[in-house]
Structure 1
Amino acid sequence: MSKIRRSGEQSLAAAEPQQRGVAAVESAAAILDVLHKAQVPLGVTSIAKASGFAPARVHHYLVSLLKTGLVHKEEDPVRYGLGPFAIRLGLTAVDRLEIQHFSAPFLHELSTETGEASFFSIWSPAGPVIVRWEQGLRPLTVFARLGTVMPLLRSATGQVYCAWGPGVAVAEAVERALLQLPPSERAAERAACKVRTEEARRMACGTTRGSMLAEVSAVAAPVFDRDGHLAGVMTVLGLLQGFDASPKGKMAKAVRRVSRQLSEKLGYSDGDE
């Protein structure tokens, strides 16, 4: 019986012509997958170890991936991460994910109630990325495009990711952001970031008043998935004048409530019934 089965399988394989792929594309995809899973920039040696390719081969592919924008390069030390084109491709895929569509009616509710603009962001290798925007009734001098990466150090959104985001990835991103500051300012900003993070955890929201953009305040709150992991962040923002950015104010209460409703939609329960 086994001989007959093998014979049949061989005949079937022979009858179906094998489709030839492009090995280079498959290798490039493997390298991109390594960078995606790492969530932080990696050196050539680390990429080679994770992909199973020789370092020289990895470097060869990275040259082309850099040219296409699928990968970006950081200096001192040299490390590689997913580039802007890869992020745009990811956002196209995100558009098909349930969470982005789930967020739409909740953002609409938040902006209708507060009269302010709001947006929903998710974590990406580049940091928090806006994937949904809702325009409010009140005039706003800024408009964030989909795909905009929010800063971790200067935004209410960033405070929430520092408080509940993927630990290692967020810590690495914070250190990269600190490197953009003058050396004399890094220690103080690191300490200030720790204080803001602890305050965000305590108040269940992040707040800013003109620290990211002049004349603009914002309040952000976490959205959790059914496993209790941070699924994204909901943020409401508006002009300083007339915008209550206090952690105990009406904006904070609204964004916390709506974020909790979205979390429950995703299956999250903190046990407080």
Structure 2
Amino acid sequence: MISSAVARGRPKRNSGQPVGIQTVETALDVLGIITQEGSAIGLSELSRRTGLIPSKLHRYLVTLVRYGVVKQSISSGMYDLGPTALRIGLAALNRHDAIGSAQEVVSALAANTGCSVGLYVWTELGPTLVRLEIGAYLPTVLRVGTALPLIHSATGRVFLAHLPASETARLLRKERADAKADGLDFPTVQEIAEMSQAIRNSEIYWTRDAIIPATVAVVPILRKAGDPLCSIVAILPRGRSGDSQKARIAEQLQAARDLLQKEIGFDIADDELASPAAQRRVRELQGRLEGLAQVRQESGKP
């Protein structure tokens, strides 16, 4: 909740910190609550959460909507993050060197395998798509900026397995409450723990039990244990998910993981990177990346 002094427009008195522009701070507090909600929120609930009276809150929302930071649903009147907020978030991610490298790797993986390949990062909304390279087959429409559920998506389950429980608890409670309200089954705490342990024990998480009606493979890119930088998901084309095809794609995903985790300083066991097969996979992927960079340079693309 926004403090009463802030709600009345008076500067906060906090020794050691300069006084800023109070209306901007209040607008950012409103935006922060919308972000934390994880889904659209109505005016009355937002008023309750912020402590601002609806008429005053509405004026802030009008400005935020005008600049595209927030959007309002025409049908429901509820408020959610807008396109400008998405552009700001993606721009911030692109300035992260490791995420930039991961996006390059996604392009190489799609070219190498023919799969559609997506890059997801963890945000307050959950696993969020930041890059998608469409390959030979994509059975559904995926949009950059879309957040996935934890339990009912393959990528969500991988983040759930590798993140600390404190990071995922809020979204998991919400998904459980939504399932109960809709009369749907939801896994028990023990079932979730067993599933998460199985995922952690696997280098790559393979499943057909996902939002996308296809065989998918998800590999986490770890900064350290319990701290995934991102996850890469490969969506296999129809008729190309046999054992031999899956083995080839697994090699590519492992090479991508090794390349990125080495770049960000993850302590990979020496014998994992020293094997000739692992070195060959990494060299092959690096060669593809260099080829893509050369093509962009010759075409004048950034």
Alignment TM-score, normalising by the size of structure 2: 0.63
Give, as a single letter, the amino acid of the residue that structure 1 aligns with 2:112. Answer: E
CA distance 1:236–1:271, shift in 2 (3 Å): same
Identity %: 21
In the alignment, the residues of structure 2 paired with residue 45 and residue 83 of structure 1 have an alpha-carbon distance, to the nearest angstrom, of 17
**Is the 2:70–2:82 contact (alpha carbons within 8 Å) kept by the matching residues of 1?**
yes
Distance in structure 1 (CA, Å) of the matches to 2:102 and 2:217:
17
Q: Offset at 1:258?
A: 1.2
Alignment deviations for residues 246-266 of structure 1 (CA, whole Å, 9 cap, x no partner): 9x8443343233122112112
- Asked if structure 2 preserves the Cα contact closer than 8 Å seen for 1:204 and 1:221, the reply is yes
Residue 268 of structure 2 aligns with which residue?
A: 270
Write out per-residue CA displacement over residues 11-42 of structure 1, whole angstroms, 9 at most, x where no aligned residue: xxxxxxxxx98531132224545776x7979x
1:159, 1:177 → 2: CA distance? 13
Q: What residue is the counterpart of 2:221 in the other structure?
A: 223
Q: Using the alignment, how far apart are the partners of 1:213 and 1:142 within structure 2?
A: 7
Amino acid at match of 2:171: A
Q: Which residue of 2 is the match for residue 175 of structure 1?
A: 173
> How far does residue 122 in structure 1 lie from its aligned partner after superposition?
0.6
Shift, 1:162, TM fit: 0.4
CA deviation after TM superposition for structure 1 residue 209, in Å: 0.7
1:142 corresponds, among 134, 140, 143, to: 140
Alignment check: 8 A CA contact 2:121 2:129 kept: yes
User: Quick one: distance in 1 between partners of 2:219 and 2:93?
Assistant: 20
Contact (CA 8 Å) 2:121, 2:130: kept in 1 or not?
yes
CA contact (8 A) 1:39 1:169 kept: no
Among 253, 256, 260, the residue aligned to 2:258: 260
Distance in 2 of aligned mates of 1:230 and 1:39: 22
CA offsets per residue over residues 30-61 of structure 1, 9 Å max, x none? 4545776x7979x989977xxxxxx3479954
- List per-residue Cα deviations over 1:186-236 (Å, max 9, x = no partner): 44465544333221111133232153222x121111112268721111111
Gaps of 5+ in 2: 1-18, 40-44, 73-78, 272-302
SS at match of 2:101: helix
- Per-residue CA shift, 1:79-135, capped at 9, x if unaligned? xx9734534431233233323321133113322332211111111111111111122
- Change in Cα spacing, 1:59 to 1:160, as seen in structure 2 (3 Å) is farther
Contact preservation (8 Å) 1:128, 1:151:
yes
CA RMSD of aligned residues (A): 4.0
CA distance in structure 2 between the partners assigned to 1:59 and 1:97 by the alignment: 39
Alpha-carbon distance in 2 for matches of 1:224, 1:169: 15
Q: Could you say if the C-alpha distance between residues 92 and 29 of structure 1 is closer, same or farther in structure 2, counting changes exceeding 3 Å? A: same
Partner of 2:157: 159
TM-score normalized by the length of structure 1: 0.68
Q: How many residues align?
A: 238
Distance 2:141 2:94 in 1: 19
